[in-house]
């Protein structure tokens, strides 16, 4: 079975550009999570969806970040405009039972903003 799929795996962009990260959760999973990981702050939950509906976006750092889930098999995380401090690894994860159970992580997108 395919796991969580993320694209691109690596992204290098210039400050001010728009960045779109993509995620395909495991089929049948009804929860989807976006995380960001940096050396300084560790792994942070940005937002999560249940049945395509955003439930908690309190972790989204600011208005430059937005996330959508138009259907059960696709989600995007957009940063516009990007800044160097957005450089991090962004993980998408999915699960069957929300935050009370195992989450399956994708391989991550390593974002570098210069």
Kindly tell me which residue out of 5, 55, 72, 96 binds other proteins, with binding defined by CB under 8 A.
55
64-83 burial string, b = 16+ CB within 10 Å, else e? ebebebeebeebebebeebe
Minimum separation from the CB atom of position 97 to other proteins (A): 10
Kindly state whether residue 107 participates in binding other proteins, applying the rule CB under 8 A: yes
Total Cβ atoms within 10 A of residue 43: 12
**What is the DSSP secondary structure assignment for residue 21, as one 8-state letter?**
E
Kindly state whether residue 12 participates in binding other proteins, applying the rule CB under 8 A: no
Point out which residues bind other proteins (CB under 8 A).
33, 35, 42-45, 48, 55-56, 91, 98-103, 105-108
């Amino acid at each position: 079975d395919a796991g969580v799929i993320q694209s691109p795996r690596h992204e290098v962009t210039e400050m001010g550009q728009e960045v779109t990260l993509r995620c395909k959760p495991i089929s049948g999973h009804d929860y989807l999570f976006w995380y960001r990981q940096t050396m300084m702050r560790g792994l942070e939950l940005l937002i999560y969806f249940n049945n395509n509906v955003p439930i908690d976006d309190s972790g989204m750092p600011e208005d430059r970040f937005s996330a959508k889930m138009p259907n059960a098999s696709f989600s995007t995380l957009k940063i516009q405009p990007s800044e160097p401090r957005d450089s991090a690894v962004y993980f998408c994860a999915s699960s069957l039972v929300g935050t009370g159970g195992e989450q399956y992580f994708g391989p991550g997108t390593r974002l570098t903003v210069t």
